[in-house]
Structure 1
């Protein structure tokens, strides 16, 4: 009940209290004035008690509302139908409680969203941390692989330089070999020429041996004829008797000389035959030597040509080895630079992983704060 209504009620009760007095005057003194006045004042007292009771109920409503607020119950409202200061306090209390309930509702919603967001951030941070750990492991593996590659490139560079030096030495040796092979080919050509000249000489000697054989045959024939003439002369001397004895002696000497000449021609024939056989054999062997010398000259010329080709090939090999060594050296430098870059990325990855871990810790802390906020809000009745 509002204050104006309560005032009107009190005024009506007072009017009722004074009404007996008026009726006492009008009536024929059936009731005494004092009795009627007491009844009126009793009614007024009851009206005051009723007013005090209503006021006490309003204060009790305020007390219950404040007690509920102290017990974190934000659903309690005060319903006072009055426009005085007490009614204004009740209205302001209801408004403050309602706004505080709205704030706690917003806090509950915000805490829930914060908890979900912090959980998602924590999960993302954990996932990112795991990815960063894997990336760090891959980076370490890549660093080790690059170091091995760099070591392999260093070894390859040394090998290519050794190959270039070996190719250079091979080129020099091939050059010397080609020169010597050319000299051998020239010497073999000279030897072939000398062999041909010797073969021509032996051919001439064989021809002269044939001529000697012919001369010896002529001498043998002359000795035979001389022997026959000496035999005939001996026969004629025997026929002459004493007169032909001296001529017989001469004929015997001539016959003996003819026989010795035949024997000498036979010996000469055997010697010349042996010489001819040896010369023929020597001509055959020299022909073989000439063929071998020509073949050796051809082989020496081919060897010189091959050695010249080897010189060119070793020169190309040396050049290619130097180029490959230079390229491998550049690759080695690039590998070293890449290793340094990977090491720098590993440092950055470690920093990022540390920041991610810190972010995950902060996210978990925020999640814990959000859970505490939700628990705090849940202790209030909204």
Structure 2
């Protein structure tokens, strides 16, 4: 309501300033028919010029838009021609000015448009009024009308431009005020966020935004505080986990060190055991081989003893045959000896008879002498053979006795050798079983030694990984120690250093 009153006073001041009194308003009303008749062609000329110019034609979509704008201008000029510069006029001018401001129509185009329209209106009015007899009076009347029209147009132009500029100024002021308000709120929010981020960059995870902010920044404040709170909770859990992990890692490191030492001792003991068992296994294998060889030798000895017994039996039989042959030879030698004796007697008798024969028996005597000598030698040889055979027979009898004793000894040796062979067979079987058992034990110990070596290597790797993990935990503890959690300085770094020193 106050705005309407101010606008009414403003238009009244403008009318008074330009001298638009009642007389001129009445003259304006008198020209209403000419204005209504002329404004259409004048607007047609204006819109033709406007549509031919790229800067003004962009404000119109199509011909229907031009026709709509023209009709609004016609209605506005009809209102001007009534000479009633009341609130309706003010509202109409204000509406047109705001439309032009919203479209971005600059005042130069607005004033140019009025110049075209005024040109048409003035020409039409003068041509209509200044004709025929009494031209002077008519000219004065025309001048009065033209002045009224021009003044009305200029007043309308001035007001429209003022409204345009006021609207722009008002919008600018509102925009600047809004911008200043937004900038102040933004600066406040940025300052608060900057202080909180500065605290956060210093490691204070309790650095939140506590001051009230504009509604547009409430969500930012909430999100930041919620993120910091979650980060604070996460760091609390991380620090607890680091402390627990460090403790567990130290225990694990001690356990792996102890296990490594024990595994090394176990590996050394197993290595010695494996070497001893390997030596025992070698000795056992050698014993089994030697026992087997001895068994084979005993078996061969047993076979040889058996064969010797058989040979002794055969020798006894052969000596029995030799004894019989010796007896037969002795008998034959006795016969030969008797034959030699008889031959010697015959030769002796032949020699006697040859001597008796004289010269005729001399050759026969020689033969008889030789036969006698042969008979003597045969008798001598037979005697020697008999003596040898008797000695040989005595030796054969002695040999038979010895061979019998040897057979008995070999039989006894054969039985003992078989007993020894049986014992060696048992020993060989036991040695083989022992060697097999020792070989299995050796395999098991070797496998245990291999597994122990692998365990030792794995323990070394585990120990190295544990030491590395302990170093990582200490680094994490130091990094976490730089932060302040829930308003309290973290003690993790101090604990880490104490644990490291321990």
- Compute the TM-score of the two structures, normalised by the length of structure 2: 0.39
Q: Which has the higher contact order (CA 8 A, sep 6+)?
A: 1
- Compute the TM-score of the two structures, normalised by the length of structure 1: 0.48
